[in-house]
Structures are given as C-alpha cells and as structure tokens.
Amino acid sequence: MKSRLIAENQLVPEQLAVNETLFHVANGYIGVRGSFEEGVPAEVKSIRGTYINAFYDTEKLHYEERYTGFPDYSQCMLNVIDAQSIKLYLDDEEFSMFNGRIVSYQRTLDAENGTVNRTVHWVSPQGREIILTVKRMASFAVKEAFLISYHVKCLNFKGLLNIISNITADVSNMSAEFDPRLGTSGGNRLDVSRINSRDDIFSLECKTRNSGLSAVCTMSNKMDNSSKRMTAETSRGVSEIFEVEVESGDEICLEKFAVYTDSVRFEQPLEEGFRINREIYQAGFKQMAARQRQYLDSFWKNADITIEGDAEIQNGIRFNMYQLLQSASNDKYSNIAAKGLSGEGYEGHYFWDTETYIYPFFLFTNPGLAKNLLMFRYNTLDGARKRAREMAHSKGALFPWRTINGDECSAYFPSGTAQYHINTDIAHAVIQYWQVTGDTQFMADFGAEILFETARVLYDVGHFRNDGKFVINEVTGPDEYTACVNNNYYTNLTTQHLFEYCDSAWKMLKQSFPAALDRLAEKINIVFEEIAEFKKAACAMYLPFDKKLQIHPQDDSFLERKVWDLDNTPKEKFPLLLHYHPLHIYRHQVCKQPDTVLAHFLLEGQVPLEIIKNDYYYYEKITTHDSSLSTCIFSIMASRIGDKKRAYDYFSKTARLDLDNLQGNTEHGIHTAAMGGMWMAVVFGFGGMRFNGGQLYFRPNIPDCWKSIEFKVVYRGRVLQIKATGTDTIIKLLDGDAINIYLNDKLLKLEPEEVTV
C-alpha cells in the first residue's frame, strides 16, 4: 500500500486548523492535534490540543425550568498538558513558518509507519539556512507515549543554536455558544498540582476543577551532540534548554519523549509516568518506531481495502480506516468519541455512533478490540440502571445518549434522552458480536445481561394497546429533525429484534450455561416469564405502514406534516439546525439523516425489496444529509436496490468527507462515524456482504468506474479474502476451518487455500 496517505506541500494559513485535524496523531488513549511544534502567530487560527480519552471535567448544568430526570452536570473531554512545544533559535532568530522564506515544505501522514512527518527548507530573515525534519507519533505499542524526533541540518549557519523543549498546562478548551455540536465548556479547566523532576525526567501534574481527576505528563529529552543543558520553570510548565555551537553542515537531533498517565487508569499516575518514560527513553525513537511499524503491519493485514481504478477514493478509504484505528479505545475505561481524539467537537462524548457505524469495522477486522468496546458499555451498566430509575423505570437499564463516564450529560432531551434507540443500538452490537464470533462465553458472562436489561426499559416504554399491538410512544428515532413521536419505525423494529434475541439468549444459556443463567437470574431478578413477555411483544410489534403509498412512515404522524421545500431553501441555511428553531423543523417532513432507511440496512430481511425501494426513494427526497452519518447509509441501500450511480455518488461524499472538508467543520475533529460508515459502504454496499444466523452472504455490485475491489473479513475464527470485479468474484479462505457461505444466493463450501469463484 502507499504509506503516505496525505501530503501538504505549501503553507496555507486559512487551512491550518483543518490540517491540524487531518495530521493529528492518536492511539485510542491519547491524541495530539497536528499543530506546529513552534506555534503560530496570534492572528492565525489554530486549535492546539492534546486529549486523553475519558479524561474530562464536569460543570453544573443550569436550567431556567428544571424537571425530574434532567442531567445535573455536563462533561467535557479536556485539552490537557501540551507536550508538543519545541522552539528553535539560530542565534537571536526564532524559527517560524510565518517569517523568513520557505524554500520547500512538505508534511505527510505515513499510515504504514504511524508517523506524521514535516520537512522544511527554511531561510531566516537574516539569511541563515537550515533543513528541519520532524517526525511525531502516538505509540500503539505503549499507549501512554507521544514521541518527537526533531532534526536540524545547518546549511550555512554557524553560531549558537538553541532548542527549547517544554511541557505546559497553559491550555484551554474552545467553545461555541451557537453551535450545539461544539458545546460551551471552554477555557482552562486544569490546576497545576506540582512540577517535579527525577534523573532528567520532568513531570507536570494537573487536576481538574470539578471532576477531581488528575493527569500527569512526564518529559525527557535526548540529544547526542555535546551541548549546554539548562532548565527553566514557570507556575504552569517546565522547559529544558539545549545550547550548542554549530558549524555549517552540522546536524543536530533531539528526541523528545512525553508520557501521559491519569487517575482514571492508574492508582499512582505520577509513578507510572516516570516508569514508562524511563522505558521509552532507553528504547529510543528508532526502536519505538520499529514497534509502531510492527503493530501497523498486523493491523493492515486484515483491514486493508484495495480499489483498482479510483486513486482518490482509494486514498480516502485508507485514510478513514487509519483514523478509526487512531480513535479506538483498547481499554475498559473509554470508548470512541464522535470526533475521535482529533478535536473538541461534541466535547469528546460517546454516542450511538460507536455501535451502529464504527463497531462493524472492528468486528470484522479485529474482534478482540470489538469486544473491548462492548466491555465499556458493560462496565457502565450500573450507571445505565441508575439512569433508568431517574427516568421512572422500575427495572432495567437506559444507556445515556451522550456520555464520557457513563452518566447522561445531554441537556436537550428531545434529541437526547428521548432517543431510546440507544438501548437497541448497543444491544444490536452485542447480537452482532454473538453472531459473528460465536463467543457464547461472552454472552454468558456479559452479553445476555445487557440484552435483558436494555429490553426491560423498552418493554416498559411500550404497551399493548386496545387492538393487541405493542406500541412505543414518545421517543425520538435516529432522525433528529423529527422528535418525540409515537411508533418510530426504527425504534419499533430494532426493539422487536432485541426482544426476539432475548428469547434466543435465554434458551442458549439454559442449554449451555445453566449455572451462569442461574447467577444472572438471581443478580437482576429476572425469570423466564418476563422473557416470554418480550417474545409476546415482539410478535405483536406495531410497524407503521401506509398501504396507499406502499411505504413505512417514519412514525405515526410523519405523513401528516408539511413537506419542507428543500429546493427553495437557501444554501446558507444549511445545516437547518443552526438556522431554524427546533419546533419549526419538527413540524415538517424533513430528515437530517436516514431513519427508516437505516432500519432497512440493519434488518433488511424483514421487508420485501420492492418496499425497501419505495422507502428509499421517498425518504431520499426529504433528507438534507446535514448529518455526516447520512450519505454512507444511502450509498449502502442504493447498492442493495441496484442503483449503482446513487451508490457511488453518495459513497464518494463519505469517503473524502474530511479530506475535502465537505461538512465545513473538519477543524473541530474528524467524523469517526462517517468513517465507519465508509467501510460499511464498501463491504456491505459494494461487496454486498450480509450475515445472519451464522451464515455469510455476498452479493457484490461494484461501481462501473472501478476495475475491482478487494477486502478481507474475519468471521468465526476464519479470515476470508474477497475480490470482486464487474463480472467475477473470487473468495479465498486464508485462515481457519472450512466454512459454508452464500455467493449471489448460491451455497458454496470454502476449503482452506482453495479459491471459490
């Protein structure tokens, strides 16, 4: 594969904040935006940030009219201690990309080696000439480590060279009062507890204002050249200064090792910070880079997708998959934020995005990591039970719509708490894991408990009406432009699915894990009669359908509303949520994103293809795609109904959404859910993959402009390689035992190393 996914060859100040997102480095635990080490002038827009997944502060929410069940506190992922800073002086001249003359410049993202690289050939205002080469990485091998290799080649400069490396808590979060996608928790939220040093390792420890969490950054610097070494300390940071006499032709290299630890994960974050820093300092940048490459070789082995005939799309696909890896937590304390660890959009909160859009990518490429993502939900199950009681449910669990620590922090309930489908989305991910991995032990230990507890709340929300139908009232579906409705089709359908699988899980446990079932039944006080009620509700589930139009209304009253005139709405009025009061939007037939169409993707076997087509074309006309979650699903379902042009058009908008800044807000962070949706659009859309009841199905239908697609999936311990052209499909079992699959509705048996066409 081509390792350099993106490259910047000239400095464009207006693009700087966007590129700080695109060139960020992260490993699921820490994320560092792609700011220049030396900083930028005050008049240039820059969003300098470093983030620790699940490290947050709280702030009391103020309501003029507060009701029972409203969250008490907001949560915000904090911009933490900055370890990026390295200043360079040639005698009395400070290096800056914004003064002097840039002879040449290139910055690249290398996804094979896991580094962001910057090379600058620079001439100072007084004619001093250097080549600066910087490599930085967030280590996948040692998740707490952020490293910089800083190399200066003196071309004509002779004199005193100073390099200043520091860590500082002089940081703050951004805010935007009139954009709900950003939040308002701005300013500096960290207090410095202490600054310390041991054996040339410096530490800066900070504590949040309200949440009581602590973060530590330790720093060490290695420079082999003989130099004078000094330190300087302020109330909010510490610097190490290297001073060296150089001659023309000399090359100076500084290696900077920063380690982030926090009280979320460590009982003694300071001690752990010193320990880890000593280890990576001893290893050195070169060895850490080798470990980074080894990790990524393993990742790309199963994850890579190859497209022949579309270089721009190919680049976008690999960029997106790499960003998913950078965003994914690999511990029980955190999940995947809506913007990953690349920016502060949505304040670092976790949504349904993970389970519905991102999770399938990891499930089919790295099932172990997929399991960890589910474990975060299991570990916050007690908080979800507490939330259910706050919402007047006597039993069961209600997962928060947006959260960091497991508590609900969405203050606007119509598009927050009312989205009860968060429960069915998480449950669906559990069901998918069970189907794809066959891991019944996980179901016995954790998964069944999630299913039963989430189902209890949905059962309590619904009821059997007079005609015997089970209905679910006053909820919001995935489309946030339609709030607080009765019988949202998506919610009802996914709840029906959850209820059915509760019955399946109970029976599986009773047969294979009777002792585990007994323990669980005692723990949550559940009996089979309750499961039987779920099954009864599933059989009686009301799913809205309009016989005249032959479509599924999004909810009971959706078709009674006035259709929004999208054709005559000025472009500057999009996205609608930033320009119209919610009530005005709610009165119309207008969708922010797929809702019924998404339901058909997740559970398409429930509906005839002709009805799916009707729904697709009906909702397409009234969908704004104001949400980045939208176009990928429309692409997948266009593939399903055989509309190849629409499938490709929607896909192209998803594949390069951040690279081309199509939503206009990439500066606030990547769109991780859209990136997961991109992968689904390739594999489920053009690859035509589906899975049901332990069987894999493929029905490839690739765009006419592509010569072929090739991808791999991990399924029940096997690794399958699929290559599809416009006329043929080749499927190979690379690892694992023989397996039966369906290709274009024909049953085939795959044997190891045999090719099936």
Q: Which residues are paired to 145 by β-bridges?
A: 259
Mean pLDDT (the chain) is 95
Judged against a pLDDT cut of 70, whether residue 157 lies above it is answered with yes
- 14-20 contacts: CB < 8 A, separation 24 or more? 14/45, 16/40, 16/44, 16/45, 16/46, 17/45, 17/46, 17/47, 17/667, 18/661, 18/666, 18/667, 19/107, 20/46, 20/47, 20/48, 20/667
Kindly indicate the confidence band of residue 756, based on its pLDDT and cuts at 50, 70 and 90.
Answer: low
Q: Which of 144, 240, 480, 620 is catalytic?
A: 480
Judged against a pLDDT cut of 80, whether residue 757 lies above it is answered with no
Judged against a pLDDT cut of 90, whether residue 179 lies above it is answered with no
The pLDDT of residue 693: 76
Cβ(619)–Cβ(596) below 8 Å:
yes
Q: How many CB atoms lie within 10 A of CB 507?
A: 13
For residue 742 the two structure tokens come to 């369906």
Q: How does pLDDT run across 399-419, given as a tens digit for each residue?
A: 999 999 999 999 999 999 999
Judged against a pLDDT cut of 60, whether residue 49 lies above it is answered with yes
The pLDDT of residue 3: 57
Diameter of the chain measured on Cα atoms: 91
Share of residues in the chain with pLDDT > 70 (%): 97
Angle at 485 between CA 484 and CA 491, to 5 degrees: 100
Judged against a pLDDT cut of 60, whether residue 447 lies above it is answered with yes
The pLDDT of residue 606: 79
Domain ranges of the chain: 4-60+74-302, 307-562+583-685
The pLDDT of residue 485: 98
Kindly indicate the confidence band of residue 469, based on its pLDDT and cuts at 50, 70 and 90.
Answer: very high
Q: Stretch 60-82: mean pLDDT, rounded?
A: 94
Judged against a pLDDT cut of 80, whether residue 182 lies above it is answered with no
Q: How does pLDDT run across 478-511, given as a tens digit for each residue?
A: 999 999 999 999 999 999 999 999 999 999 999 9
Angle at 327 between CA 321 and CA 329, to 5 degrees: 120
Cβ(654)–Cβ(684) below 8 Å:
no
Return the CATH class of domain 307-562+583-685. Answer: mainly alpha
The pLDDT of residue 694: 79
Q: How does pLDDT run across 598-649, given as a tens digit for each residue?
A: 999 999 887 999 999 999 999 999 999 999 999 999 999 999 999 999 999 9
CA Rg, the chain, in Å?
27
Kindly indicate the confidence band of residue 224, based on its pLDDT and cuts at 50, 70 and 90.
Answer: confident
Q: How many CB atoms lie within 10 A of CB 109?
A: 23
The pLDDT of residue 605: 81
DSSP per residue over 468-524, as a string?
Answer: S-EEE-SB--S-TTS-SBS--HHHHHHHHHHHHHHHHHHHHHHHH-HHHHHHHHHHH
Q: Do 4-60+74-302 and 307-562+583-685 fold alike per CATH?
A: no
Rounded Cα distance between 619 and 633, Å, is 12
Share of residues in the chain with pLDDT > 90 (%): 94
Domain 4-60+74-302, CATH: 2.70.98.40
Judged against a pLDDT cut of 80, whether residue 141 lies above it is answered with yes
The pLDDT of residue 680: 98
The pLDDT of residue 183: 62
The pLDDT of residue 174: 81
Q: How does pLDDT run across 644-690, given as a tens digit for each residue?
A: 999 999 999 999 999 999 999 999 999 999 999 999 999 999 999 99
Angle at 323 between CA 320 and CA 327, to 5 degrees: 140
Instruction: Respond yes or no: is residue 14 known to be catalytic.
Output: no
Rounded Cα distance between 601 and 612, Å, is 9
